[in-house]
Structure 1
Amino acid sequence: MDFENIYIEEENNLATITINRPSKLNALNQRTIKELHVAFKELDEDPEIKVIIVTGSGEKAFVAGADISEFANFSVKEGRQLAAIGQEKLFDFVENLTTPVIAAINGFALGGGLELAMACHFRIANSNARMGLPEVSLGVIPGYGGTQRLPQLIGKGRAMEMIMTAGMIDADKAFAYGLVNHVVSPEELLPVCAKIGSRISNNSSVAIKYAIKAVNAGFRYDADGFSAEIDAFGTCFGTDDFKEGTSAFLDKRKADFPGS
């Protein structure tokens, strides 16, 4: 697929996806969602890529929401389809990706932008970042998982306040709420993401895949997180990465994981 609204850079087992619609503050339209789906899928299938970072182009926005002009005249049926397809192709897809995804929030992360960041496995923001779910000010609610993931991350009461007021919080408050893991200067954002990504890439990609699955199971209504953990833990014993990791520990050397 030829990308119009994103570009990808790869270095040292890390891939950075940049959403590149600066004139629209990187707002998510259907084309961009489709491109992101393809990019995440291809990178997840690349054994050389151990960590994916997603960010926005420019200094103003990570993603400043969805492209409202695309759906302002949608019917009820079309609205439901918009949310269902978006969740399947991007937001749920990213959350369940087996390659770790870090959101590098470099400015406004509003509406669908915050929902994309929350679908990532964790978030790092620069000090200029602003986050919010303003959908109720447009007569609609978050439709890409925001009503579910925000309470999981910051608690029901705080999530209710953010959603009902349609207000924004700054990076420091997002850190205090547990919405982001770190707040850094704008210049440090991508280097810090790359540094953490490098630390992740030194570990077993197979074990990380199963850890992601087990953690996610604990937040699903139709799964038992503890059972998922037991199953994933046992499965790890049959992998080459487990053999290499335990052998390296006993031999007092650095592990060289084969990724299988």
Structure 2
Amino acid sequence: MTFQTIIVEIEEGIATITLNRPEVLNALNDQVFKELGEAAAALSADNSVRAVIITGGNKVFAAGADISQMASSTAVDVATGDNASYRAFQILETMPKPVIAAIAGYALGGGCELTLVADVRIAADNAQFGLPEIKLGILPGAGGTQRLPRLIGAGKAKELIFSGDFIKADEALSVGLVNKVVPAEELFAEARMMAKRFASRGAIALQLAKSAVNEGLRMDLEAGLQYEHKCFSLLFATEDQKEGMRAFLEKRPAKFQGK
């Protein structure tokens, strides 16, 4: 896969999507969103890919949206325009595979919102997070007001959104914005190790487990429990379920085939 603003690499069943606009600190524009959506759709359909890492490299994740593209927009332009970020983020968030964000340096505005669509976030110790849109007279418009409160709670999310202030990696860990903080030089090794661990599990079970969590968060508890049971039941029609339980009883590692 060849793109202009991102790089996609696949190795040993792990796909890595790297934002590639270093001259503007990986600022996100419609072209980036379009290519992210296309890459995510292609990787979703590629059965050889078992997990996905998204990163901006070892200096910066993404310093926000491309303001030069937004500055002259009118309310009508925004309301009726092509909502490229929404589509791209929906595809990434609902991928039937685990998605890990490996975050170094700034993850601001749309960059921070992009991390929120990942299933797991690993931050380098030099990472900083923030939603500074309020300082521009706008609000986070790529899911920040919806995904962030669901992740860290409404109170802390409102503090970050209303102030526009940045937080460092250690505070991001303490409020639950990231799962883990590691030394910057260990970021990609840690992300790949986690991706490999996820990839060693049954692909269908991973897909349905992810769906059960994501869909359940949109339901009340009783509906979520019913949906979970449906997903649980479906897995008993898979070869992986038979192999997993047989391997457990035979005291050997399971060899999942994604079937």
- TM-score scaled by length of structure 1: 0.95
Question: Matched residue pairs, number?
Answer: 258
Q: Partner residue of 1:69?
A: 68
Distance 2:42 2:189 in 1: 24
Q: Partner residue of 1:242?
A: 241
Q: Partner residue of 1:115?
A: 113
Q: Partner residue of 1:54?
A: 54
Is contact 2:107-2:129 (8 Å) kept? yes
Is contact 2:2-2:8 (8 Å) kept? no
Q: Partner residue of 1:17?
A: 17
Which consecutive aligned stretches of 4+ in structure 1 deviate over 3 angstroms post-superposition?
81-85
Distance 2:8 2:97 in 1: 15
Cα distance, 1:174–1:5 mapped onto 2, change above 3 Å: same
Distance 2:17 2:2 in 1: 14
- Per-residue deviation, 1:221: 5.0
Q: Partner residue of 2:254?
A: 255
Q: Does 2:216 align with 1:218?
A: yes
Distance 1:131 1:83 in 2: 27
Q: Partner residue of 2:89?
A: 91
Residues 122-157 of structure 1: CA distance to partner in whole angstroms, max 9, x if unpaired?
A: 100001100010111111111111001111111111
Residues 158-180 of structure 1: CA distance to partner in whole angstroms, max 9, x if unpaired?
A: 00000000000000000000110
Distance 1:84 1:219 in 2: 24
Equivalences for 1:1-260 in 2 at 5 Å?
A: 2-59=2-59, 61-81=60-80, 84-87=83-86, 89-220=87-218, 224-260=223-259
Distance 1:81 1:231 in 2: 38
Measured on the aligned residues, the alpha-carbon RMSD in Å equals 1.6
2:45 partner letter: E
Distance 1:147 1:167 in 2: 15
Q: Is the partner of 2:167 in helix, strand or coil?
A: strand
Distance 2:217 2:82 in 1: 20
Is contact 2:240-2:257 (8 Å) kept? yes
Q: Is the partner of 2:107 in helix, strand or coil?
A: strand
- TM-score scaled by length of structure 2: 0.95
- Per-residue deviation, 1:12: 1.6
Cα distance, 1:81–1:230 mapped onto 2, change above 3 Å: farther
1:241 partner letter: D
Q: Which runs of 5+ in 2 are unaligned?
A: none
Cα distance, 1:95–1:222 mapped onto 2, change above 3 Å: farther
Distance 1:181 1:58 in 2: 18
2:256 partner letter: F
Q: Percent identity?
A: 45
- Per-residue deviation, 1:82: 5.2
